[in-house]
Chains A and B, each alone.
Chain A
Amino acid sequence: MSPEMVSVMAESGAAASHKPPELSKERLLEIYRVMVLTRLLDDRAMKLQRQGRIGFYVPALGQEASHIGSAAALGADDWFFPSYRDPGIALLRGVPVVSLMHQCYGNAADNTRGRQMPVHYSFKKQHFVSISSPIGTQIAQAAGAAMAMKIRKEPHVAITYFGDGSTSSNDFHTGLNFAGVFAAPCIFVCENNGWAISVPLEGQTASATMAAKAEAYGMPGVRVDGNDVLAVYAATKQAADRARAGHGPTLIETVTFRMGGHSSSDDPSRYRDPKVCEVWKTRDPIDRFKAWLEQKKLLTAAQETEIRARCDAELQAAIDAAEKVGPPAVSTMFEDVYAGRTAQLDEQWAELKDALQRGVVSKGHHGEFPL
């Protein structure tokens, strides 16, 4: 049995299944602002990548409602185990955009010290757990964090995000199974964007929906219009309330679409008909939310212009700041492998430092790095 699709802001003509959540005007506009900022960040970052100023990028284009709407339903003490297509979560939780930009540049001001490709963020203060590239690994970890919350009898929730491709991974199964068995306060958000790089949804599963998979793990499966930010919010809020009340995990499938490539290294025109995107353009999550806010008289044209101008200025300032910071020192390569440095790491750094100082190491096209 496939669950019905939850929606709040109906596409023209269609009836919405749920009432809008009770959110203050300020909160609604904040969610809107972060969606716009995320969209503009994507746009600027893709251009920076094309200009060769950052090495790589993963756009979240079209998925802003899916991840920002759900993040908005959780609190400061809840923990996030995101995928690499959810930058708006960090922005919504108060991470300044310049921190994301430093990470994309991999510079000395990057809090992760230039250790990972762009968009693999980590923000401890905001409980935004370090992102990795292997698919689905965060799902089992989120289940474990939720088990820990339950063991400690703390009223918090762990939420994890992954794509439709991840539902094929081992850790989707183990994560949902563990959370189900231990009734852990965990929310699993499958952002079903239709594509895992070049493989369409039907290449990942023969299941009619992703939400239907929840049944086998003994938890509710909710299917929500992933481009309807208020519907995503409502579904996540309900799942969080359920988890906090001790009733265990929920799987939420946000039905959305990956409007861009998988990454800056991908050209989707090689494997999918661009006409598909045209249909989804009419369902754009930001346009829909904007129309709804305007209709409810919560957003004026002047406010909208001001929000965009502020986001643009913030982004420009972040890029300017990130460009000014040089690369991390070579010595940092040997730090944080362990809490302390092993004799082997000390020896290898001493050897490399000596080689660098004597000019033995050939200068690559990236130029010189400080010791």
Chain B
Amino acid sequence: MAVMTMVEAINDALRVEMRRDPRVVLLGEDVGIKGGVFGCSAGLFKEFGGDRVMDTPLAESGIVGAAIGMALYGLVPIAEIQFGDFIYPAFDQIVSEAAKMRYRSGGEYTVPMTIRTPIGGGIRGGHYHSQSPEAYFAHTPGLKVVVPSTPADAKGLLLASIRDPDPVLFMEPKLIYRSLKEEVPAGEHLVEIGKARIVRPGKDVTLIAWGGMVGMCEKAAAKCAEEGIDCEIVDVRTIVPLDEATILESVKKTGRAVIVYEAPKTGGFGGEISAILAEKAIEWLEAPIVRVTGFDTPFPYTLESVYLPEPGRIREAVLKVARF
């Protein structure tokens, strides 16, 4: 095992899979010689050549549309959208085409494709290098949505996504691209899509988060522990399909839930989790479900650190539900 950042773990996963399966190709803007703007595909162009690591013209709908055609034809494409904020031109191809192909063709045509894209704040990227658009895509049957929160999970979930028979949107939190290092298993390492992870067991309050917010919850939980409140943290890992069972089990145990996500509050995926808890666990709830989120504003540049949920606001929410 080697200690890796998330960027290194993603690079490792891509290399492992491209060596294992000659059908796997990578395409996107600057993924070739440059190795991606964050270096996720560093060295792959040199090892696998231009037929398998393709620098494309600058058009997201073209990247995803072409990847769909490749997947239909029998390749296993990994399309990189340079920033999640730039994915919207490809929305039609993702939502109307990739996600619906299996269904609309009666199961005849499938799109085993992975779309990788960095999301979230934390790099002082302003409106267009910071968004967390997972909720738009969670509303799309036929598409899977995965958000890792650690380097080892990034590798394991990415390998599982590439091998998945359906289109997967793999969203990589930039906040922890390089800030977090951990041991990542070498070679084969699979993490099942659709299984949440208990990051920290606890008995008083359940914190539910994904991506970059999992680490924020860990910091908040450490503070709360000093005040005698024992938090359990659930890393959702896959937004779609959601592991409701693990979330429900935790909340039924603690009776209290705080959901943390960095997207704007209204219409965020945490609202869906809140609804599930209200539908299926209301008898177990000892306090209102509370969300700690970004705000209903465009993502700000200078005030980024205030916009993003951080341990202080999360702690306050935990105290509120714990003392309700």
Contact = CB atoms under 8 A, between A and B. Distances in A.
B22 to A, nearest CB: 10
A124 interface: yes
B59 A337 contact: no
A112 B65 contact: no
A147 interface: yes
- Say which size band chain A's interface belongs to: 35 or more
A130 B105 contact: yes
A144 B57 contact: no
B115 to A, nearest CB: 13
A343 B242 CA distance: 8
B73 interface: yes
Most buried by B among A79, A146, A182: A182
B141 A337 contact: yes
B107 interface: yes
Contact of B68 (A79, A122, A144, A344): A144
A337 B110 CA distance: 10
Contact of B73 (A145, A335, A336, A337): A145
Interface of B: 25, 51-52, 54, 56-57, 59, 61-62, 64-70, 72-75, 77, 89, 92-93, 96-97, 100-110, 141-142, 144, 164-166, 194, 240-242, 244-245
A175 B92 CA distance: 14
Given A141-B66, A144-B65, A132 B97 contact: yes
A148 B100 contact: no
A342 B106 contact: no
A296 to B, nearest CB: 39
B57 A149 contact: no
B89 A140 contact: no
Most buried by A among B51, B92, B245: B92
Contacts of B52: 151
A130 B65 contact: no
A184 B72 CA distance: 16
Contact of B106 (A113, A140, A343, A344): A113
Interface string A322-352: 0000000000000111110011100000000
Interface in A108-156: 110-113, 115-116, 120, 122-124, 129-130, 132, 134, 137, 139-149, 151-152
Given A171-B61, A342-B241, A140 B93 contact: yes
A343 B245 contact: yes
B143 to A, nearest CB: 9
A342 B194 contact: yes
Contacts of A111: 106, 108
A137 B93 contact: yes
Contacts of A112: 104-106, 108
A178 interface: yes
A137 B97 contact: yes
Interface of A: 79, 81, 110-113, 115-116, 120, 122-124, 129-130, 132, 134, 137, 139-149, 151-152, 158, 170-171, 173-175, 177-178, 181-182, 335-339, 342-344
Contacts of A337: 102-103, 141-142
Contact of B56 (A145, A175, A178): A178
A79 to B, nearest CB: 7
A336 B103 contact: yes
Contact of A149 (B54, B73, B194, B245): B73
Contact of B69 (A120, A132, A145): A145
A193 B79 CA distance: 35
A57 B204 CA distance: 60
B69 A140 contact: yes
Nearest to B167: A338
Contacts of A146: 69
A213 B53 CA distance: 29
Contacts of B57: 174, 177-178, 181
A116 B106 CA distance: 10
Given A112-B104, A129-B109, A137-B92, A148 B142 contact: no
A144 B242 contact: no
A130 B108 contact: yes
A127 to B, nearest CB: 9
Contacts of A110: 106
A175 B65 contact: yes
B296 to A, nearest CB: 27
Contacts of A144: 65-70, 72-73, 77
Contacts of A152: 74-75
Contact of A338 (B25, B68, B89, B144): B144
5 A-B pairs with least C-beta separation: A144-B69, A140-B65, A174-B62, A144-B66, A145-B69
B24 to A, nearest CB: 11
A15 to B, nearest CB: 40
B69 A142 contact: yes
A141 B61 contact: no
Contacts of A139: 65
Contacts of A149: 73
Contact of A344 (B77, B165, B241): B241
Contact of B104 (A116, A174, A344): A116
A132 B96 contact: yes
6 contacts: A112-B108, A132-B96, A139-B65, A145-B70, A336-B107, A338-B165
Nearest to A137: B97
Contact of B107 (A129, A140, A147, A335): A335
Nearest to B25: A151
